[in-house]
Chains A and B, each alone.
Chain A
Amino acid sequence: MTSANIKILIRFLLLIPLQVLIANHMRLFGYINPQISLLFLLWYPLKKDVSGFLVNSFLFGLMIDLFSNSGGVNAAACLLLAYTRLPIIKFIFNDKEINLKLFKYSNYSTMPKIALIFSLAFIHQFTVYSLEYFNVSYILTILQKTFTNSLFTTFVVIIFLSIFTSTKKQ
Chain B
Amino acid sequence: MQFILYLIQKHRNFLLFFVLELIALFFTIQFHSYQKSKFINSANGITGGLYNSVTSFRSYLYLKDENTMLIKENSELKNKLLKKAVTPTSFKDSIDLRFQQKFEYASAKIINNDFHKNNNFLTINKGKKDSISPYMAVVNAKGIIGITSNTSNNYTSAISVLNTHFKVNARLKKAAYFGTLTWNGKSYDQVQLIDIPRQASLKIGDTIVTGGRSAIFPEGILIGSVSDIEYQNNRYEKINVSLFNDVRNVSNVYIIKNLHKQEIQKLENSNND
Tell me how many residues of B have a C-beta within 8 Å of chain A: 38
**Binding site secondary structure of chain B:** helix
Q: A71-B31, A75-B27 are in contact. Are A31 and B116 (CB under 8 A)?
A: yes
Q: Is B206 an interface residue (CB 8 A)?
A: no
In this assembly, does B20 line the interface, its C-beta being within 8 Å of a C-beta of chain A? yes
B24/A79 in contact, CB under 8 A = yes
One of A37-45, A60-68, A116-124 contacting the partner:
A60-68
Asked if A80 is an interface residue, CB under 8 A from chain B, the answer is yes
Q: Is there a chain B Cβ closer than 8 Å to A30's Cβ? A: yes
The answer to whether A72 and B17 touch (CB under 8 A), given A17-B50, A132-B118, is no
Which residues from A are CB-within-8-Å of B121? Answer: 68-69
- In the assembled complex, B63 has its CB within 8 A of some CB on chain A: no
- Per DSSP, are chain A's interface residues mostly helix, strand or loop, or mixed? helix
Name the contact of A66 in the complex, choosing from B16, B47, B117 (C-beta under 8 A).
B47
- How far is B47's CA from A108's CA once the two chains are assembled, in angstroms? 38
Which of A2-10, A50-58, A155-163 sits within the interface?
A50-58
Contact partner, B21, options A27, A51, A65, A80, Cβ 8 Å: A80
Chain A residues whose C-beta falls within 8 Å of the C-beta of B32 in the assembled complex = 71, 134
The reply to whether A21 and B54 form a contact with Cβ atoms under 8 Å apart is yes
Give the A-B contact count at a CB cut-off of 8 A: 102
Whether the pair A54, B20 counts as a contact (CB closer than 8 A) is: yes
A121 to chain B, nearest CB (A): 17
> Which interface class (under 10, 10 to 19, 20 to 34, 35 or more) fits A?
20 to 34
B44 CB contacts on chain A under 8 angstroms: 66
Taking a contact as CB atoms under 8 Å apart, the answer to whether B42 and A68 are in contact is yes
CA distance A76 to B41 in the complex (A): 16
| A68: B residues at CB distance < 8 A | 42, 114, 117, 121
Q: Which residues of A contact B245 (CB under 8 A)?
A: none
- Cβ-based interface call for B188 (8 A): yes
The reply on A103 being an interface residue by CB < 8 A is no
Asked if B117 and A132 make an inter-chain contact with CB atoms under 8 angstroms apart, the answer reads yes
Say yes or no for B227: interface residue by CB 8 A criterion: no
CA distance A62 to B31 in the complex (A): 13
Chain B: minimal CB distance from A70 (Å): 7
Q: Which residue of B lies closest to A133 (CB)?
A: B118
A68, A70, A76 interface centre (most CB from chain B within 10 Å): A70
Chain B residues whose CB sits within 8 angstroms of the CB of A67 once the complex forms: 42, 47, 50-51, 112
The minimal Cβ–Cβ distance linking B219 to chain A, given in whole angstroms, is 29
In the complex, the chain B residue whose C-beta lies closest to that of A16 is B50
B20 touches A79 (CB 8 A): yes
Taking beta carbons and an 8 Å cutoff, which residues of B are in contact with A? 12-14, 16-17, 20-21, 23-32, 37, 40-42, 44, 46-47, 50-51, 54, 112, 114-119, 121, 123, 157, 188
Known: A21-B54, A66-B40. 16 other contacts (CB 8 A): A30-B188, A31-B117, A51-B12, A51-B16, A66-B42, A68-B42, A69-B37, A70-B40, A71-B28, A72-B23, A72-B24, A72-B25, A72-B27, A75-B23, A79-B20, A134-B28
